Structure 1
Amino acid sequence: MLCQELNNEQSQARIAAGLALKNAVAAREATRREEMSARWMNIDSTTRDQIKALVLITLGTQDIRAGIVTAQVVAAIAAIELPLGQWEGVIRDMLQNLSSTDNTNLRQCTLQAIGYVCETIDRDILTSQANSILTAVVQGARKDEPSEAVRLAAIGALYNSLEFIEDNFKREGERNYIMQVVCEATQSQDVQVQVSAFECLVRIMQVYYDMMPFYMQKALFGLTVQGMRSPHERVALQAVEFWSTVAEVEIDQENYRLEAIDNGEQPTHANYNFAKAALPETLPVILELMTKQDEDDDEDDWNLCMAAGTCLSVTAQSVGDACVAPVIQFVETNIRHTQWQYREASVMAFGSILEGPSQELLVPPVAQALPFLIEMMNDPVIKVKDSTAWTLGRVSQSLAECIKPDVHLQPLIEALVRGLDDSNRIVSNCCLSLMNLADQLEGEQGADSPTSHMSPFFNGIITALMRITERNSNESFARTSAYEAISVLVTHSARDTFPTISALSTSILDRLEQTIAVQNEIVGVDERNSHMELQSNLCSVLTNVIRRVGKDIAPIADRIMTVLLQLSTAASKSSTILEDAFLAIGALTTALDSEFARYLDSFAPFMFSALSNHEEHQLCSIAVGLIGDVCRSLGSASASYCDNFMTTLLQNLQSPVLHRNVKPNILSCFGDIALAIEGQFAGYLDVTMSVLAQACNIRAAPTDYDMIDYVNGIRE
């Protein structure tokens, strides 16, 4: 009935019918997809053949919207049947449509259907028809194709077929023609055709980089630089994406090359350094594009300015030192510009090149620029302050040696703390900078350091961050960033900050207790998600406090355990809060050592419940780790629990439902139990050795990399 409605030229509901038909045979989730596939194949073959014939006819409908929906239906049915050896003539029939009609709608929708099929079907299934598909697609993409809509559909189909036409692409004559057609399409008068052509070039660069030197020299350098200057933002975005892709591929190529050399092998991946060769042409355009901000730009919308900044960042990682001098010149020229767009672009450009070039080359300009960057945290324009805070985060992460504690640290921290009272986006970047400072300026003796460069500012920073965490909203993840910053500051704190950490632990427990008290009053989904996120953040801080102070947590251990047990009781079996509570309890187990024994009877039921919850494998894995923590802390006193531990762990090893990545952890846990109870482990020795022997016999296929990792984990 849906199919007939879709085919009915007079129907007002044919679009809805087409979408309903597609959704009846296709789904994103694997389980749902298998269910729908089985349901489709259970329809008798005669009915299925009638439906398939009808949808192929409907590709030529006068209503182009219905034709496009029909193309999706064709691909959805093909995705089910082709892997099963059914409907093998679908590609042949659609190619026949292209060669025997002047119906523009039919050609357009058929090409779209071919593209969708190429996108969804395993490449091996279609390889035998690659020549026919390629011929038809390239025919439709030529510049003398009268319909730009057909040309657009053909380029989209070419994009989706690029991987399985590898044999064709290896043949120089065919490759030349494909590249000619795509390059000509970048010059189309139709903007969407231009966009799709550049998208195609991006994908070609990803898949066939090794074959690109000739084309880069003859056409692609000029076309893409011209594309970046296009007045149409969507075209310029794809041209910028092309150079980002070049840089990313060349980073990978260089890593492969160095890895081969380290292994004493001959490198098989060449790095043609396209990004470096093109730098004199591309870099000025990229920097110019970075100045094209607008005060009204939504910070969450991807735009040309953001794309250019990202391109500069990956280009710096690819070309290294070659980009430093021209970018520094741009920064020096524009950092005090009267137009805020140039100030913002200069700061963003400076931060974007801090990864890739050598530190020796970066240290002098960074040291010179640092006072200016700190001063720019007072800029009247929010976007400038935002980029400055981000750049300071990059400096504190990669070039912390430029920060002289006696010169820069106080004004830097004061500027960052002031930034915490600014917009949410700036708050997040200030938090990142504070985290990096805490990490990089940790005391010389690590956890045993009596003090550190950060100690004089610790209390003030924590106080300011706690104010942020009191906000009701979490826009731009400002509240989450504040909690993360508190956790990192605690982790890297010196011993002279323990009084502040003690007060912090009390505040965190107060808040956790408040969240438990109001838990039953929450009704909306968004409100519940926000509540769970808050509890998760509080648990994370508490975990880091416990790990940092160690046995000094003992005076409030009873209160902590009470709160965590209440959280565990209130949480659902699939809640991430349960995972967070377990991690905090694991930290408490380690901190209290044998003193944790008094809580084990109360906590054990939660632990065994999690161990039996095979569908939630991450929670189960944490529970396995907790058994190890308990046994290490209690030593021989844990023996009375080991019968239940071993029985449950052995059952988990046999479970077909439990994710296999949990099982190596179970084998490690056997070792923790054995070390803890020593001779009392003899009763479990035979069954343990049997399990280990079985594990040693597991083999992985040479091409199954996930299985190889699993087997290596088992053996370790």
Structure 2
Amino acid sequence: PLISGPFSGKFQIPTFLVELSKVLANPGNTQVARVAAGLQVKNSLTSKDPDVKTQHQQRWLAIDTSARREIKNYVLQTLGTETYRPSSASQCVAGIACAEIPVNQWPELIPQLVANVTDPSSTEHMKESTLEAIGYICQDIDPEHLQDNANQILTAIIQGMRKEEPSNNVKLAATNALLNSLEFTKANFDKEFNILNNKVFCTTRWPCRPVFSTCNVWGPVEMADLWYSGWMCSHLLLCVQITIEAMKSDIDEVALQGIEFWSNVCDEEMDLAIEATEASEQGRPPEHTSKFYAKGALQYLVPILTQTLTKQDENDDDDDWNPCKAAGVCLMLLATCCEDDVVPHVLPFIKEHIKHPDWRYRDASVMAFGSILEGPELSQLKPLVIQVRAAPDGHQNNLRSAAYEALMEIVKNSAKDCYPAVQKTTLVIMERLQRVLQMESHIQSTSDRIQFNDLQSLLCATLQNVLRKVQHQDALQISDVVMASLLRMFQSTAGSGGVQEDALMAVSTLVEVLGSDFLKYMEAFKPFLIIGLKNFAEYQVCLAAVGLVCDLCRALMANILPHCDEIMQLLLENLGNENVHRSVKPQILSVFGDIALAIGGEFKKYLDIVLDTLQQASQAQVDKTDYDMVDYLNELREGCLEAYTGIIQGLKGDQENVHPDVMLVQPRVEFILSFIHHIAEDEDRSDGVVANAVGLIGDLCTTFGKDVMKLVEVRPQINDLLSEGRRSKTNKTKTLATWATKELRKLKSQAWYVTALPSHQTTQRPCLAPKHDSYCSASFISAVTEERLNWRIMRGVLNARLDLNRLINCCSLTVSMVFSWFVFRLPAVELLPRIMEIKPTEVSSVFYT
């Protein structure tokens, strides 16, 4: 029941809603009363929980038709009578519509709403609240239920977006309705295209307040992929003019929408370029072709984007999305999309501002250079190469950071023939790192310490990039110096989480490059690894340390064993510590699998506590309305699945025969499959979870055999999960799902043969009467000797007979069938291997024939 008291009980709900709708419709009531009544009506019709929403809608449809009609009349009468925003009546109308329209009820609603908007006598409040109702309906209802009304809805929206419309509130409501209707009005865009674009663009030219301007520029952003293929070239200058006006706005939200519009255009044209390449390789024309709008707009876009790069604030939060960052991304997309054509437009800005007195302009010039590294040919970029050198102003603000970032991009994208330059760069970075470490004794102030730590972080990040490019034999020659510098850095920066994190990641890269040769540094490095694992107060450091444990396990394998006790203890403590950031815990679970893979059977001593921990983590539940928690749950499940996989593979061993140690996991197999079954029922599972789940199914099949098959058979959702994995667009998921499916089918096939075929030691046969065998055999012989049958069909007949022989454990008629095959049709050589599988003792008779 909605309430308690005299109105409680399901039979009182119609009366309750009628009375509420009367309160809502009466203009004489206070605003508070009308809003409260509208809220109660809306909440009785809809909910954020899909299941509850369905229940509310079914309850509404069960109400008497006359009562529903009365309520609908009241809420429609309320439209236009409210002086407050947003309209309560529009939400009630949408709630009722979402319940009735899908079951073909209330057909008169859309025409009535359209009439409210198009009627010249309608008030501003009437048009605004009606357009709000249309927007809510388009947002909440399945688009297929509105296809028949698409033209009418577009008519109302276009009417509300007219330049002649005096009310900006009406234009805003119409634009919001347009955004919500895009999905089901695509088919109408061809006919209404020019009208609709003109309305959108004209409305965008008349912003009266920030929120309105933001919304109206957002309209074209959402529409970009819809109208791209139909946009005439004559609209390009108009759109450039409007979006650049937005990009120049002092309001960040408006500027962001103008910039992101062109980012969307670049994305669309890059997709079209890929499609054109694929079509050319296949010798066919592409379905859609690029209009090269981005290339045509470069002369207008690049100056405003580069100018936006200079609007940075040295105190910007890295996580904040602002026009400066959006401009850098857009410039990068333009370079990728337009390639060499972007260089002449960016080059003047770089040359003019690389030595500008204001650090923001110098930083912007370096950022512009870094943004166009991908796309243009190397010959176009050579004139732009900036020498990274010691300079008097090198310490100022973000200039040094931008220079190092540009250097890292150059190293990361360097070709093989640039390896000598990479070697020299590595030596320069090492020399600078050692020089910086020697400067610590000269630090006198907090500002000096901050700059010192920032420079160490930049050098560590650059060191990672060059180490990834260094060959193994060269890495061995410099590894002693690298580790000595990093160990000294660990000692001097115990209070700086950022430097500790960067240093740990540099060690991780060195581990990847050296592999097992890193073992000689473990004793010296282990204390700092332990400090990192204990540093849950700075969770990024702890996370980097956990990732490094994974790299060490893969590089050192069994040699990590002497250090495992202490590492495992810290990992388990972190899992149980509420003060450890939640993002660390999925990675810890995953590392259990890496440790098991590295030390194999030695993992037995940790097995029980780890499996108990995984079982507890596998049962975690979160609030499904919180998207961040849903993502976290998927990460947690991925960690559990990776741990189970690593443990099973580690205990199983590399040998073809399964090692007995893995049987210690067998009591948990049923729970593991229940966990996978639970994942299969969760619609919010990620593709990564699916990939790990199907991979684990395959490992369970190859390890525990028929026991797994029986448990899977009673959980059909697992087969659905495998099917989903085989359809995945991710190669890893598709490959693992296909392999797991084959392993499962192999078990089923083996189980059938084990059931149907007695062993050589027993004389008991399956229950198949001799006369039935004779009837079957006669039918097979008749089929084989029928000359009108296609030879492929006859091959199938013989194969079927061989399956029957396998079932009844005899070869009595196989000889005669093969003889018939020799006489009447093709050679039987291909059948001999299958005949030999039936009973080895009867092979001689077949060969005799």
TM over 0.5, shorter chain: yes
Match of 2:670 among 604, 608, 613: 608
- Within-5 A mapping of 1:15-414: 15=35, 17-19=37-39, 21-28=41-48, 30-67=50-87, 69-100=88-119, 101-171=121-191, 174-191=192-209, 192-217=211-236, 219-362=238-381, 364=382, 368-369=385-386, 371-372=388-389, 379-381=395-397, 383-384=398-399, 387-388=402-403, 390-399=405-414, 404-412=421-429
Q: Answer yes or no: is the 8 Å Cα contact 2:694–2:722 preserved in 1.
A: no
Counterpart Cα distance in 2 of 1:168 and 1:360: 47
Amino acid at match of 1:496: D
Report the 3-state secondary structure (helix = DSSP H, G, I; strand = E; otherwise coil) of the residue aligned with 1:565: helix
Counterpart Cα distance in 2 of 1:30 and 1:481: 44
- Show CA shifts across 1:450-490 (max 9, x none): 956874566468769989999999x9xx9998887766654
Cα distance change of structure 1 residues 326 and 514 upon mapping to structure 2, 3 Å threshold: same
Counterpart Cα distance in 2 of 1:629 and 1:248: 40
- Within-5 A mapping of 1:427-446: 437=466, 439-441=468-470, 443=472
Counterpart Cα distance in 2 of 1:23 and 1:198: 32
User: What is the CA-CA distance between 1:396 and the residue it aligns to?
Assistant: 4.2
- Show CA shifts across 1:603-645 (max 9, x none): 223333111221124778646534644776xxxxx5xx42312
Gaps of 5+ in 1: 444-448, 633-637, 687-692, 694-716
Q: Answer yes or no: is the 8 Å Cα contact 1:564–1:581 preserved in 2.
A: no
Q: Answer yes or no: is the 8 Å Cα contact 2:93–2:133 preserved in 1.
A: yes
Q: Answer yes or no: is the 8 Å Cα contact 2:335–2:376 preserved in 1.
A: yes
> Residue 519 of structure 2 corresponds to which residue in structure 1?
498
User: What is the CA-CA distance between 1:674 and the residue it aligns to?
Assistant: 9.2
Q: Answer yes or no: is the 8 Å Cα contact 1:509–1:563 preserved in 2.
A: no
Cα distance change of structure 1 residues 567 and 202 upon mapping to structure 2, 3 Å threshold: same
User: What is the CA-CA distance between 1:209 and the residue it aligns to?
Assistant: 0.7
Say which is worse superposed, 98-107 or 383-392, in terms of deviation: 383-392
> Residue 587 of structure 2 corresponds to which residue in structure 1?
537
> Residue 573 of structure 1 corresponds to which residue in structure 2?
619
Q: Answer yes or no: is the 8 Å Cα contact 2:298–2:345 preserved in 1.
A: no
- Within-5 A mapping of 1:5-16: 6-7=24-25, 9-12=29-32, 14-15=34-35
Match of 1:646 among 709, 732, 746: 709
User: What is the CA-CA distance between 1:107 and the residue it aligns to?
Assistant: 0.9
Counterpart Cα distance in 1 of 2:653 and 2:474: 20
> TM-score by structure 1 length?
0.77
- Show CA shifts across 1:288-321 (max 9, x none): 0111112344433322112211211211111111
Amino acid at match of 2:518: T
Amino acid at match of 2:302: L
Counterpart Cα distance in 2 of 1:426 and 1:108: 56
Counterpart Cα distance in 2 of 1:453 and 1:49: 85
Q: Answer yes or no: is the 8 Å Cα contact 2:475–2:513 preserved in 1.
A: no
Amino acid at match of 2:386: A
Counterpart Cα distance in 1 of 2:452 and 2:74: 57
Say which is worse superposed, 306-315 or 92-101, in terms of deviation: 92-101
> Residue 754 of structure 2 corresponds to which residue in structure 1?
683
Q: Answer yes or no: is the 8 Å Cα contact 1:313–1:353 preserved in 2.
A: yes
Match of 1:625 among 672, 686, 695: 695
> Residue 632 of structure 2 corresponds to which residue in structure 1?
none
User: What is the CA-CA distance between 1:112 and the residue it aligns to?
Assistant: 1.7
Computing the radius of gyration from Cα coordinates, the structure with the larger value is 2
> Residue 570 of structure 2 corresponds to which residue in structure 1?
514
Report the 3-state secondary structure (helix = DSSP H, G, I; strand = E; otherwise coil) of the residue aligned with 1:149: helix
Q: Answer yes or no: is the 8 Å Cα contact 2:161–2:175 preserved in 1.
A: yes
Report the 3-state secondary structure (helix = DSSP H, G, I; strand = E; otherwise coil) of the residue aligned with 2:77: helix
Percentage of identical aligned residues: 28
User: What is the CA-CA distance between 1:647 and the residue it aligns to?
Assistant: 1.5
Counterpart Cα distance in 1 of 2:45 and 2:462: 49
Amino acid at match of 1:153: A
User: What is the CA-CA distance between 1:328 and the residue it aligns to?
Assistant: 4.1
Amino acid at match of 1:186: T
User: What is the CA-CA distance between 1:554 and the residue it aligns to?
Assistant: 5.4
Counterpart Cα distance in 1 of 2:405 and 2:479: 23
Q: Answer yes or no: is the 8 Å Cα contact 1:539–1:584 preserved in 2.
A: no
Amino acid at match of 2:325: M
Cα distance change of structure 1 residues 675 and 643 upon mapping to structure 2, 3 Å threshold: closer
Cα distance change of structure 1 residues 571 and 230 upon mapping to structure 2, 3 Å threshold: closer
- Show CA shifts across 1:33-71 (max 9, x none): 44443344344433333333333233323332251x432
Counterpart Cα distance in 2 of 1:315 and 1:560: 53
Amino acid at match of 2:614: S
Amino acid at match of 1:616: I
Q: Answer yes or no: is the 8 Å Cα contact 1:316–1:353 preserved in 2.
A: yes
Q: Answer yes or no: is the 8 Å Cα contact 2:651–2:662 preserved in 1.
A: no
Cα distance change of structure 1 residues 39 and 178 upon mapping to structure 2, 3 Å threshold: same
Counterpart Cα distance in 2 of 1:46 and 1:430: 76
Q: Answer yes or no: is the 8 Å Cα contact 2:429–2:462 preserved in 1.
A: no
Counterpart Cα distance in 2 of 1:609 and 1:425: 49
Q: Answer yes or no: is the 8 Å Cα contact 2:601–2:651 preserved in 1.
A: no
User: What is the CA-CA distance between 1:379 and the residue it aligns to?
Assistant: 3.5
Cα distance change of structure 1 residues 226 and 455 upon mapping to structure 2, 3 Å threshold: same
User: What is the CA-CA distance between 1:269 and the residue it aligns to?
Assistant: 0.8
Report the 3-state secondary structure (helix = DSSP H, G, I; strand = E; otherwise coil) of the residue aligned with 1:354: coil
Counterpart Cα distance in 1 of 2:486 and 2:645: 23
Cα distance change of structure 1 residues 335 and 268 upon mapping to structure 2, 3 Å threshold: same
Gaps of 5+ in 2: 1-15, 438-448, 527-548, 550-559, 621-635, 727-733, 758-799, 801-849
Match of 1:661 among 707, 724, 727: 724
Cα distance change of structure 1 residues 657 and 679 upon mapping to structure 2, 3 Å threshold: closer
Cα distance change of structure 1 residues 327 and 431 upon mapping to structure 2, 3 Å threshold: farther
> Residue 705 of structure 1 corresponds to which residue in structure 2?
none
User: What is the CA-CA distance between 1:581 and the residue it aligns to?
Assistant: 2.2
> Residue 702 of structure 1 corresponds to which residue in structure 2?
none
Say which is worse superposed, 36-45 or 262-271, in terms of deviation: 36-45
Q: Answer yes or no: is the 8 Å Cα contact 1:195–1:235 preserved in 2.
A: yes
